[in-house]
């Protein structure tokens, strides 16, 4: 199983892939300020975010059967 991290643009509400193919049993997401949201064996650091926007982030699992909702 691998993971896909997607970020939704606050202006267009469209999802885009930030990174894909992340290996690991669990995934952690960490903001640029270093605050860890989930502890895990895999982590992603989001960069180049605008401080004046509110972003939505989702993590999806991908395996031989497809991508999770």
pLDDT tens for residues 29-63? 665 555 555 545 677 888 888 888 888 899 898 88
The yes-or-no verdict on residue 16 having pLDDT over 50 is: yes
Q: How far is CA 31 from CA 35, 36, 45, in A?
A: 6, 7, 6
Q: What was the pLDDT predicted at 6?
A: 92
Please give the pLDDT value at position 29.
62
**Residue 25's pLDDT is what?**
64
- The structure tokens listed for 50 are 């605008």
pLDDT recorded at residue 26: 59
Nearest-5° Cα angle at 35, 7 to 25: 65
Q: What is the pTM of this model?
A: 0.69
């Amino acid at each position: 199983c691998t993971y896909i991290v997607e970020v939704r643009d606050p202006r267009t509400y469209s999802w885009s892939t930030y990174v894909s193919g992340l290996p690991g049993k669990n995934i952690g997401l960490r903001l640029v300020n270093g605050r860890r949201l989930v502890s895990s064996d895999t982590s992603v650091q989001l960069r180049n975010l605008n401080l004046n926007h509110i972003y939505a982030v989702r993590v999806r699992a991908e395996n031989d059967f497809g991508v999770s909702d």
